[in-house]
A = this chain, B = another copy of it.
Amino acid sequence: MAGNTFGQFFRITTAGESHGPANIVVIDGLPAGIPITIAEIQHDLDRRRPGQSKITSHRHESDEAAILSGLFDGKTTGTPLAILIRNADQRPGDYEEMKLKYRPGHADFTYEAKYGFRDYRGGGRASARETVTRVAAGAVAKKVLTSLNADIQVLAYVKQIGTISADIADPAAITPEQIEATIVRCPDSIAAKKMIDLIEQVHKERDSIGGLAEIIVRGIPAGWGEPVFDKLNAELAKAIMSIPAVTGVEFGVGFAAVSARGSENNDPFISTAAGIQTTTNHHGGIQGGISTGMPILIRCAVKPTSSIPREQQTVTSAGESATITVKGRHDPCLLPRFIPVAEAMVAIVLADHGLRQRQARI
């Protein structure tokens, strides 16, 4: 109702601020009988954690998850699964200036415009700290997906940082190992090296840089998604645009469709041993809002980190001109830690629609 719940059948509700005691997610709608371990959740949380490499924020958050309910004998019980992640490394002093001034590129101004005041400690609810609950829920969603179909795999990776673009011959063939092989999470190791250098250079320049992520999903059978408003691509677009810093999203050929002809853009159907497929995949795995069985292909743009350690022009709550130099330990590029968050949100949407699809026929 107020924006903190997502999904219909696999439904998550999250709470928590950057500098409060904890972040929490309640997952409702989980069918009984799905095996889940805390280690599986922790695995993805560790991929998102700050301080994981030289190109991410040096903050320390152990981000240890605790399951409070919904699990018995290692399996979901059908009742809600609650996961608690306590906040640790808070330095409120870092944020004192934020109390009075609006940080450019952040939600300080808009939260105050909306609510009349704001929790200014580290951005409060608007901080990307909240994505920790998305990742925890995403790990559970991945278990739902593999319970529905063992072949399903949701992978995200860095496609571009600044103007350095990875050369990916076939997105559908990328492996998790290739992605995790570099700290920037780009499976093209040559481009990855250049990307890391660029991020370090940008950091030295007290600046930040944007990037492009690509998400590929394999193993989704034909038929997932709903007509009209809850199209699979519409729901995925919302999920991805809801992640902090995302500025655009596209599916299949995406914006290249603008200058395409129908005769070249339509994907012809063929019969194969694996069933009906298309010879090309311009549509990116979704047609009419429903999965075709072809790999789902999504790309999204992520803006450069708004928190940069330079003096910027702004105003105070009272409307007076001021300058602000944002303190704290920020990522010079959001992409390496964005990857597990993107995977999580895509997995959450797909788990929801995988369960919804069980209602399609009597």
State A4–B209 Cα separation when bound (angstroms): 40
Which of the segments A43-51, A101-109, A166-174, A336-344 contacts the partner chain?
A101-109
* A319→B271 contact, CB < 8 A: yes
A206 nearest CB across to chain B (Å): 8
* One of A54-62, A112-120, A183-191 at the interface: A112-120
- How far is the CB of A117 from the nearest CB of chain B, in Å? 7
Chain B residues, CB < 8 A from A31: 359-362
Taking CB atoms, residues of chain B closer than 8 Å to A312 are 263, 266, 268
Cross-chain contact B361 with A116 (CB below 8 angstroms):
yes
Q: For residue A54, give the distance in angstroms from its CB to the closest CB of chain B.
A: 19
A16 within 8 A of B: yes
Q: Taking A242-B229, A265-B303 as contacts, is the C-beta distance between A15 and B70 under 8 angstroms? A: yes
Number of copies: 4
Do B262 and A308 touch (CB < 8 A)? yes
Q: Which residues of chain B come closer than 8 Å to A304, judged between CB atoms? A: 257, 260-262, 265
Q: Which residues of B contact A80 (CB under 8 A)?
A: 2, 4, 13-15
Nearest-neighbour CB distance to chain B for A201, whole angstroms, equals 11
Tell me, in angstroms, the Cα distance from A359 to B246 when the chains sit together: 27
Query: How far, in angstroms, from A236 to B306 measured CA to CA in the complex?
Result: 22
Whether A283 is near chain B, meaning CB under 8 Å from some CB there, is yes
**Further pairs besides A211-B258, A270-B313: 20, Cβ < 8 Å:** A1-B29, A2-B78, A4-B226, A6-B229, A14-B228, A21-B66, A22-B69, A24-B69, A32-B116, A72-B121, A104-B267, A104-B268, A110-B291, A113-B222, A210-B258, A234-B241, A237-B237, A247-B250, A266-B306, A270-B315
Assess A110 versus B223: contact at CB under 8 Å? Given A119-B72, A301-B257, A313-B270. yes
CB of A362 within 8 A of CB of B228, answer no
Q: Give the dominant DSSP class at A's interface.
A: mixed
Number of interface residues of A (CB under 8 A): 159
Contacts of A252 in B (CB 8 A): 247
Residues of B within 8 A of A250 (CB): 247-250, 255, 301
Contacts A110-B287, A231-B241 given; indicate if A303 touches B260 (C-beta within 8 A). yes
Pairwise interchain contact A358-B361, C-beta atoms closer than 8 A: no
| A38 within 8 Å of B (CB atoms) | no
Does A325 lie at the interface of the complex (its beta carbon under 8 Å from any beta carbon of B)? Answer: no
Would A255 and B248 count as touching, CB distance under 8 A? yes
